Amino acid sequence: MENKGSKQILLSRREELQSIMQASAEDSKPVELDQSRVGRLSRMDALQGQAMAQETERRRQNELSRIDSALIRVETGDYGFCTNCQENISEKRLELDPSTPLCIDCATVK
C-alpha cells in the first residue's frame, strides 16, 4: 500500500475520530444523583449510558493512539512492516486497517 495514500487515510480517520469525540464529550460527564429530580431507574439508565459512553471514548482513544503510531511509522519509513517480526504486512490487511502494527502471523499469536 502506498505510504502517501495510507497517510491520508490515517489523517482523515484521526480527524473524524477527534470530531466525534468532541461532539460526544457531554455523554461521559458524571451523572446527577439528585433523587428528587431523577428516579432510581432513570438514574440507573443514565449511569449505564455514561459507562457505555466512557468505554466508547476509551476505544476511540486507543484507535487514535494506533493511528498516531502508524503515522510515525509512515514518517520513519517503517510503515507496512510488522513491529514484532519486521516482515511485510500484507496489503489487504493494511487496506482493512491502515493502523495495524502487526502481520497476521504475529497478530494471531497473541
pLDDT in tens, 60-91: 999 999 999 999 999 999 999 999 999 999 99
**What whole-number distance in Å separates Cα of residue 24 and Cα of residue 18?**
10
Computed on alpha carbons and rounded to an integer, the radius of gyration of the chain in Å comes to 19
Angle between helices 40-76 and 3-23 (to 10 degrees): 160
Q: Residue 27: pLDDT above 70? A: no
Within-domain flag for 8: yes
Domain membership of residue 90 (yes or no) is no
Q: Is residue 41 part of a domain?
A: yes
pLDDT tens digits, residue range 32-64?
Answer: 555 555 566 777 887 888 889 889 999 999 999
pTM: 0.75
Domain assignment of residue 25, given as a range: 3-79
* 103 assigned to some structural domain: no
Q: Residue 68 falls within a domain, yes or no? A: yes
Contacts of residue 106, Cβ cutoff 8 Å, sequence gap at least 6: 82, 84, 85
In the chain, the number of structural domains is 1
